[in-house]
Amino acid sequence: MIASGTKNFTSLFSRYKVLSLLFVIAVIWLLFGWLTDGFFLSPRNFSNLLRQMAITGMLASAMVFVIISGEIDLSVGSLLGLLGGVAAILDVRYGVPVVANFLVVILLGLAAGLFNGWWVAFRGVPSFIVGLAGLMAYRGVLLGVTDGATIAPVSPGFVIIGQAYLPLLVGDILAGLAFLLIAFLILRSRQKRQQYNLDVPPLWQEVAKLVAIGIVIAGIVITLDDYRGIPIPVLVMMIILGVFTLLAQRTVFGRRIYAVGSNLEATRLSGVNVRMVKLMIFGLVGLMCAFAGLTTTARLAAGSPSAGNLGELDAIASCIIGGTSMRGGSGTVYGALIGALIMASLDNGMSMLGVETFWQMIVKGSILLLAVWVDIATSAKS
């Protein structure tokens, strides 16, 4: 009995990789909580932590698709900086209305992403090179248009998306709706599977899963409400998580991202337009750079020429820690976000402890290496 119990336990872990990631988060949080006399675990810091990870999270949500498809994009940090800078210039220098400003920047981001994707998909330039070129060139453009100076102050209407919080009641209602939607989707897919005589996990497992999700959502919302409510950037990130998860699991485009990453040639020979798939992935990345850029500028209330520096590396590391395979073909959006949360927790906790920046970098690098090694070592056994 005991033996089979532990076996079930380990198989549960290997099946739901997310559990082991949550376990890692729990360890990190308890450790920092203990070291900071509980301050790390205060609602205020939790709110901070989520706001810190929001920008990396937005980038990682799209980066995960790039990596699943077997490519890489190194330009996202610079593109984020450029788009945030353009938004600041339009706002501060030209007084463009906020909504129009956002629309322009989002379209610009999409265009830049598609431009990158065009080089990769239709001109056959390796994505590593296209990204590297973008990393340098987009940053160069940003330095050029800002003359290397900070653009401030950004108008109050703009700043909302980076700094404001949802009214408590609105946040609670949204969280409730999100939970109901998830419950509906899970139970409906279960019912559909039963209808076609497909295997379904035991009901208690699904209910346990739902209860766990409910507790997590409630826990997050209650803790955030305890401070000032759900921060707007966190809301945006959660919506992206939902939409992108649906995109990955339930759309033709999503399925093809995985197919392209697993075997490009076979996918092409099935009559799939693989170039279009790649182009669209890079388009999505551009879109997310726009969101992240706008959020950054709003958060700083200024356009900074160094915004988004090394952002691409944080995004890639988040995906990898979150279980995305560098070989392509497998990975999840929520995994990437949990990866981002792990990175943000390390940053936040160590800063709180006054650990010097160089140590922070060394620790983060080591964690990345360790995470991938653990993944390889455990998957080789099975």
Partner 1 sequence: MSDYLLEMKGIVKEFSGVKALDGIDLKVHPGEVVGLCGENGAGKSTMMKVLSAVYPYGTWDGEILWEGKPLQAASIRETEDAGIVIIHQELMLVPELSVAENIFLGREITNGGFLDYEAMNAEAARLMAELKMSHVNVAMPVSHYSGGVLQLIEIAKALGKNAKLLILDEPSSALSQTETEILLDLIRGLKHRNVACVYISHKLEEIEAIADTVTVIRDGQFIGSAPMSELTIDKIINMMVGRELTEKYPHEEHTIGDVIFEVRHINCYDPLNPQMKKVDDVSFQVRAGEILGIAGLVGAGRTEMASAIFGYYKGPHSLEVYLNGEQISVKDPEAAVKHGICMVPEDRKRHGIVPLLGVGQNITMAVLPRFTQGGLINEAAEFATIRGEIDRMGIKTASPVLAIASLSGGNQQKAVVSKMLLANPRVLILDEPTRGVDVGAKYEIYKLIYELAKQGIAIIMISSEMPEVLGISDRVLVIGEGQLRGDFVNDGTLTQEKILTAALTRRQMAA
Which residues are at the interface with partner 1 (CB under 8 A)?
189, 192-193, 195-196, 198-199, 246, 250-252, 255-256, 258-259, 261-263, 265-273, 329-330
Give min distance, CB of 256 to partner 1, in A.
Answer: 8
Euclidean distance between CA atoms 320 and 335, whole angstroms: 9
Closer residue to partner 1, CB minimum distance, 90 or 259: 259
Closer residue to partner 1, CB minimum distance, 209 or 268: 268
Give min distance, CB of 263 to partner 1, in A.
Answer: 4
Residue 3 tokens read as: 């033996």
Closer residue to partner 1, CB minimum distance, 99 or 198: 198
Closer residue to partner 1, CB minimum distance, 81 or 322: 322
Closer residue to partner 1, CB minimum distance, 34 or 184: 184
Give min distance, CB of 285 to partner 1, in A.
Answer: 20
Q: 355 in helix, strand or coil?
A: coil
Closer residue to partner 1, CB minimum distance, 43 or 329: 329
Euclidean distance between CA atoms 222 and 237, whole angstroms: 18
Closer residue to partner 1, CB minimum distance, 163 or 263: 263
Give min distance, CB of 64 to partner 1, in A.
Answer: 15
Euclidean distance between CA atoms 318 and 54, whole angstroms: 12
Q: 224-235 burial, b if ≥16 CB within 10 A, otherwise e?
A: bbebebbbbbbb
Per the CB < 8 A criterion, the answer to whether 289 and 112 are in contact is yes
Q: Which residue has the tokens 């988060």?
A: 25
Length of the chain: 382
Residue 120 C-alpha from the chain's centroid: 22
- Cβ neighbours for 277, distance < 8 A, ≥ 6 positions apart: 69, 253, 256, 257, 260
- Type of residue numbered 345: S
Give min distance, CB of 323 to partner 1, in A.
Answer: 14
Give min distance, CB of 321 to partner 1, in A.
Answer: 20
Give min distance, CB of 48 to partner 1, in A.
Answer: 36
Which candidate, 122, 119, 121, 123, places its Cα nearest to that of 134?
119
> Exposed, middle or buried by CB within 10 Å (0-12, 13-18, 19+), for 115?
middle
